[in-house]
Structure 1
């Protein structure tokens, strides 16, 4: 269905590629969607890169501004998304050595820590507070520190409770955890390791606060190790202790997983099982009530055959970057009773939902604003947001008329039964951008030429609201 519709809407999509586009009738421009709107998009050409990969986010504690950090084939892009409808590409930190399809980023105490599969790349350290005063955009940034205790690395993991970074898939310790002390971010140092002859592709580290009282308060490393999950107590970096391991059926490549917020369940994605065994996107859910004896709780199958990649959990929603099927939002609030269901999606790769390595690589759903980063291999940076998050009471269509809608220069508001006293216009961040009061008028005309294109909420007489689009 997507391939049939694309030719008819591609022109419309190009015109809106960088602007706010609501999800209406299953599409936001050319992008299939359900329950999530496109806030903005920056393509790879503007980012001067051949491909996108990982992403993360940073909120400036000084002023609350939000920034997207996006991995690219040739470096790391920094994007100011404090106005999500009009993001500012601030610049790029170039790769430390050469280009690579793999780059990974995490944040600790206002510093970004970046690794790559590029040979001898090591770990770049970047002071994010430098983003506060960028004048010439896009600028070329430089690292503030560098750690060369390893060469290439596939991934980096940080638990924000503790000053340690865990580089995994490195050329050291058989690809197991290479632990770096980042208590002084500008002088990172070796802190420990754990290998036990296995390669870790990705991992999560948490200060455990789950149902197994034996491990509460300890630092637990959950490693996705190609053909199994490992659980390691890394409370003492110089002396990690293996707790347990678990595998599952139909293994393709044990790729990445994430804990529920109560630390009871672990959601795992296998990157190759869809291709190898021919079923739809599968997520394996493990029950960690007893960390010494984890068990399989259930398997969840998505609606397409696309390959799952990176998934994160926030406030009862599993945000799964699903390659060619885009970002899928899955309600897991009833996972205990094995009741999981998809509640939305935004598909950044409209060509198909096949088992290919195209489309959404990663996402970041942790901004307080509700805006969500999607980093796409083929199309660059996307920012999306749940539809209707700022909607209010229903509008009585028999009382007021708003036309034209969409509008470009002027909008007329007419009331057939009551007088108009006040008009307010809000953007989708909830910010009021216009207020006009009237002396009991029945019909008014407002000039909107000074406003940026996008979706707004028009509020009439402090109670009735209608969605309004400015072209």
Structure 2
């Protein structure tokens, strides 16, 4: 395995400066070469433009025979600077050492807490992974990621360090790393609205209330707000993607969460997931069913959140294919889209104020087609300081990709 001092220092500096996931300063590794660089529109077997394929681990290796991939996240060890991919599958959560991105090592799996499920979601806080699933009675598994530092004879079968069972099934988990609170959404509690959990002591999570007034929330982003609306500076604000609308909630007081506003839009299919721009002026949303219901190309919606009490529709962006957009994240002036059968897409948002968004690159992890169907890239994790990007693919498993130098 290569040890890259430059990458180690970049990752360590990132952790020491305590950057949160959504404001990572990206660097790149000038030494490690991709297994499959993007040449003449192909990275190995995968169509590409501007993305190299560093390496790939199949979903069968990650989750066992018959497994499918779903969500993903990442962790950078603050002591070693090593990067790890955390990959959800139908059977388990897989932990992969990415310190050499061209030779990733599957360290082991944490099996599902109850039964297998198509849906598993993972987030990280204070060197612990927090895992939920739609599996009945699953609750929230807590796994101490520092255990990955000394794994002998991988892959191992791990056990959870704690289980939080104040809910059973849940669709997703959101964590505000600034406050140390997790927000369970789409669970069998609080009408599917956010279920608050204090995780400041990760091995002993405790219930902290919830918000049932806005009904089912499919996904959310929670931030300590420092955007243009000074009325809410320093407040803890939840942006919920709630099936048929976007909901903005002040969750600073866990005993008295307060709705700030809501906004909907034309041709609603399924309000799925969204992410703030880094200045918190705009909220960028993916609707999971509009391509199916209305026949458009991949449609991403942008809302102006300058005034949280009065959000407005700003623009829509249509991608080059009819594939369904799933999860979106922002780094600097780039929007990364997990675009199901069209793979990962990168979109320049530097001119978003003027209503201009332009695709700058992609790598298609599902090369069979770009149909409007639930195949391919489920999620991406673009927040590593090294520039390595994790793609979790339903049929393909783990892809480690990077923007072409």
- CA contact under 8 A between 2:63 and 2:90: conserved in structure 1? no
Residue of structure 1 aligned with 2:44, choices 15, 20, 29: 29
Separation in 2, partners of 1:253, 1:47: 30
Which one of 375, 381, 390 corresponds to residue 392 of structure 2? 375
Alignment of 1:275 onto 2:305 = no
What are the Cα deviations for residues 34-74 of structure 1, in whole angstroms up to 9, with x where unaligned? 00000000002222331000000000000100000000100
User: What pairs with 1:45-64 in structure 2 (closer than 5 Å)?
Assistant: 45-49=60-64, 50-64=67-81
Aligned counterpart in structure 2 of residue 195 of structure 1, from 212, 232, 235: 212
Deviations 1:104-145 (A, max 9, x none): 000000000000000000000000000000011100000000
Residue 385, structure 1, aligned to residue 402, structure 2: yes
The reply on whether 1:217 has 2:217 as its aligned counterpart is: no
Report whether the alignment pairs 1:90 with 2:107. yes
Residue 369 (structure 2) aligned to one of 352, 357, 360: 352
Shift of 1:180: 0.3
Change in Cα spacing, 1:197 to 1:314, as seen in structure 2 (3 Å) is closer
Q: Which residue of the other structure, out of 257, 268, 288, is the alignment partner of 1:251?
A: 268
Offset of residue 333 of structure 1: 1.4
CA–CA separation in structure 1 for the residues paired with 2:141 and 2:209 = 19
User: 125, 133, 146: which one pairs with 1:108?
Assistant: 125
Tell me which structure has the larger Cα radius of gyration.
1
Higher strand share: 1
**Residue matched to 1:40:** 55
Q: Superposition pairs for residues 400-419 of structure 1, below 5 Å? A: none
Q: Which residue of 2 aligns with 1:312?
A: 329
Counterpart secondary structure, 1:47: helix
Q: Deviations over 1:275-300 (max 9, x none)?
A: 10001000110000100000000010
Q: After superposition, where does 1:170-209 map in structure 2 within 5 Å? A: 170-209=187-226
Distance in 1 between residues matched to 2:137 and 2:198, nearest whole Å: 20
The structure-2 alpha-carbon separation of the partners of 1:48 and 1:225, relative to structure 1 and needing over 3 Å to count, comes to: closer
- Where 1:45 maps in the other structure, the secondary structure is helix
Give the TM-score taking structure 1 as reference length: 0.78
Checking the alignment, whether the CA contact within 8 Å between 2:63 and 2:94 is kept in structure 1 is: no
Moved over 2 A (4+): none
Unaligned runs of 5+ in 2: 1-33
Count of residue pairs the alignment pairs up:
370
Whole-angstrom distance in 1 between the partners of 2:270 and 2:236: 25
- Report the equivalent of 1:265: 282
Aligned pairs (5 A) from 1:321-336: 321-336=338-353
CA distance in 1, matches of 2:63, 2:215: 37
| d(CA) in 2 for partners of 1:358, 1:227 | 23
Q: Distance in 2 between matches of 1:344 and 1:124?
A: 36
Cα separation, 2, equivalents of 1:236 and 1:218: 9
Q: 1:27 to 1:39 in 2, by over 3 A?
A: same
Secondary structure at the aligned position of 2:292 is classed as helix
Deviation at 1:315, TM superposition (A): 1.5
CA distance in 2, matches of 1:123, 1:238: 22
Q: In structure 2, how many angstroms separate the alpha carbons of the residues matched to 1:78 and 1:295?
A: 40
1:197 Cα deviation after fit = 4.5
In structure 2, which of residues 77, 95, 102 is the aligned counterpart of residue 78 of structure 1?
Answer: 95
Alpha-carbon separation, structure 2, partners of 1:80 and 1:195: 39
